């Protein structure tokens, strides 16, 4: 059993769907609580660490999950905190065997301490830099998130920031695209579509949360943008309340889907692991990647997720290896970086991975 678990840790992995503030480990949450206690001037009640993570076996509604993010955002409210959590999150992914990480985050301003959205992004990039200056062997890229609740003006501002930062990214971490996320039951998608269209025109990659809950109108509008990747895609299938037209479109354009199993189970958007849509798309040989979504909130790292996929759907080590390697082609990275990653996978392949 231990050898089995070490297989998933040693497995080189690609993480394509990780929200920064959802990925904060319990140990970093303790550091944040101490940081606020030391500052001695919080205007909110500090949460307990257990309040911002859903333990093994527990489940909540998706609505409750979004309340957890509000608590975390209060803890990560200045540039020191943003830099610290970014450094820790990147180091933890590296320690878990992740060799390529795309982290996504919603730029946030805080008028109380003067943090602007650009200061927020700079702090994220500085945090990545700190993590990489240690011995973390990982390539990191950044996506800027648009929250579904935001206005067109906020969304277009994020697109402009992403374009500016893409052009002046530091060598250690480039901004490669835009994510659309946030509470799937909220927001006005038709208002945001022109901003997403502009992002595409600017040459940014689009990773959009699509069909995390049933909402075929939004799904139709978002698929029409032909995103570069889909987050979740839980309710695309007709059997789940989506429709065949969605499935045909996603298959025809081979749009990769980021699968976040524990997030969907703990947030109760799927009934259980066995009911997860992973199986449909895996059997259809569609491009998919295994992802954590929010490794802190859902208390599950990427090795755990691969292990769960293998156990639930009976994948051999060889098949798990192939699944992890296939995610390289779905990265928002240059062909040179993809070749470099493929060499890492080749060099680390066990003689017999079963
Ligand atoms: C949709 C999610 C999400 O941006 O502050 N986020 N959006 N569905 C999910 N499934 C559970 N999990 C996280 O990270 C936290 C933000 O990521 C989005 C939400 O907008 C949340 O506020 P950042 O780094």
Ligand 1 centroid vs 20 CA: distance in angstroms? Answer: 8
Q: State yes or no: pLDDT of 354 exceeds 50.
A: no
Q: State yes or no: pLDDT of 30 exceeds 50.
A: yes
Averaged pLDDT for residues 208-236: 98
Q: State yes or no: pLDDT of 218 exceeds 90.
A: yes
Q: State yes or no: pLDDT of 313 exceeds 50.
A: yes
SS3 for the chain, per residue?
Answer: CHHHHHHHHHCCEEEEEEEHHHCCCHHHHHHHHHHHHHHCCCCCCCCCHHHHCCCCCCCCCHHHHHHHHHHHHHHCCCHHHHHHHHHHHHHHHHHCCEEEEEEEECCCCECCCCECHHHHHHHHHHHHHHHHHCCCCCEEEEEEEEECCCCHHHHHHHHHHHHHHHHHCCCCEEEEEEEEECCCCCCCHHHHHHHHHHHHHCCCEEEEEECCCCCHHHHHHHHCCCCCEEEECCCCCHHHCCCHHHHHHHHHCCCCEEECHHHHHHCCCCCCHHHCCHHHHHHCCCCEEECCECCCCCCCCHHHHHHHHHHHHCCCHHHHHHHHHHHHHHCCCCHHHHHHHHHHHHHHCCCCCC
Whole-number pLDDT of residue 171: 86
**Cα–Cα distance, 96 to 324 (Å, whole number):** 14
Span of 21-35, 45-59, 155-169 with lowest mean pLDDT: 45-59
Tell me the β-bridge partners of 259. Answer: 290
Share of the chain above pLDDT 70, in %: 98
Ligand 1 centroid vs 347 CA: distance in angstroms? Answer: 35
What's the mean pLDDT when you consider all of the chain? 95
Ligand 1 centroid vs 349 CA: distance in angstroms? Answer: 34
Active site residues: 212
Residue that has been written with the tokens 């609740």 in this structure = 149
Span of 31-45, 149-163, 167-181, 213-227 with lowest mean pLDDT: 31-45
Q: Per-residue pLDDT tens for 229-287?
A: 999 999 999 999 999 999 999 999 999 999 999 999 999 999 999 999 999 999 999 99
Whole-number pLDDT of residue 352: 61
Q: Per-residue pLDDT tens for 109-149?
A: 999 999 999 999 999 999 999 999 977 789 999 999 999 99
Ligand 1 pocket residues where CB is under 6 Å? 19-22, 65, 69, 105-106, 145, 147, 181-182, 209, 212, 263, 267, 293-294
Ligand 1 centroid vs 178 CA: distance in angstroms? Answer: 13
Averaged pLDDT for residues 168-177: 92
Q: State yes or no: pLDDT of 353 exceeds 60.
A: no
Q: State yes or no: pLDDT of 14 exceeds 90.
A: yes
2-342 fold: TIM Barrel (3.20.20)
Whole-number pLDDT of residue 78: 97
Mutate to test the pocket of ligand 1, among 21, 22, 68, 300 (most ligand atoms within 8 A of CB): 22
**Cα–Cα distance, 346 to 329 (Å, whole number):** 15
Which atom number of ligand 1 is nearest to the Cα of residue 62? 11
Mutate to test the pocket of ligand 1, among 32, 52, 69 (most ligand atoms within 8 A of CB): 69
In this predicted model, which residue has the larger pLDDT, 143 or 5? 143
Domain layout of the chain by residue ranges: 2-342
Which atom number of ligand 1 is nearest to the Cα of residue 19? 14
Q: Per-residue pLDDT tens for 334-347?
A: 999 999 999 999 99
pLDDT interval class at 324 (50, 70, 90)? very high
Q: State yes or no: pLDDT of 49 exceeds 90.
A: no
Averaged pLDDT for residues 321-342: 98
Whole-number pLDDT of residue 117: 98
> pTM here?
0.97
Of the candidates 337, 316, 265, 331, the residue with the CA atom closest to the CA atom of residue 294: 265
């Amino acid at each position: 059993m231990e050898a089995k678990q070490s297989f998933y840790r040693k497995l080189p992995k690609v993480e394509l769907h990780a929200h920064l503030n959802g990925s904060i480990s319990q140990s970093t949450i303790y550091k944040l609580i101490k940081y606020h206690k030391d500052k001695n001037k919080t205007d909110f009640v500090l949460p307990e660490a257990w309040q911002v993570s859903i333990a093994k076996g527990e489940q909540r509604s998706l609505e409750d999950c979004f309340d957890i993010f509000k608590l975390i955002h209060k803890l990560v409210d200045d540039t020191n905190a943003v830099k610290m959590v970014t450094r820790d999150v990147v180091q933890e992914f590296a320690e878990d065997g992740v060799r390529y990480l795309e982290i996504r985050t919603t730029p946030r301003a805080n008028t109380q301490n003067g943090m602007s959205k650009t200061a927020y992004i700079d702090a994220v990039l500085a945090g990545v830099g700190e993590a990489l200056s240690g011995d973390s062997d990982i390539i990191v890229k950044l996506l800027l998130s648009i929250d579904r609740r935001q206005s067109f003006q906020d969304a277009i501002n994020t697109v402009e920031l992403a374009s500016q930062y893409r052009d002046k990214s530091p060598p250690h971490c480039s901004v490669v695209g835009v994510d659309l996320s946030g509470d799937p039951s909220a927001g006005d998608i038709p208002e945001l579509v022109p901003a997403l269209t502009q992002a595409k025109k600017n040459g940014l990659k689009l990773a959009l949360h699509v069909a995390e809950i049933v909402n075929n109108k939004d799904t139709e509008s978002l698929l029409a943008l032909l995103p570069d990747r889909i987050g979740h895609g839980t309710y695309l299938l007709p059997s789940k309340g989506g429709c065949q037209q969605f499935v045909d479109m996603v298959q025809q354009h081979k749009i990769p889907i980021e699968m976040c199993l524990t997030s969907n189970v703990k947030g109760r958007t799927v009934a259980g692991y066995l009911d997860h849509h992973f199986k449909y798309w895996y059997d259809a040989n569609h491009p998919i990647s295994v992802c954590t979504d929010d490794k802190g909130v859902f208390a599950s790292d990427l090795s755990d997720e691969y292990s769960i996929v293998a156990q639930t759907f009976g994948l051999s080590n060889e098949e798990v290896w192939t699944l992890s390697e296939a995610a390289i082609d779905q990265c928002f990275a240059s062909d040179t970086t993809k070749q470099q990653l493929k060499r890492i996978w080749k060099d680390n392949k066990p003689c017999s991975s079963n």
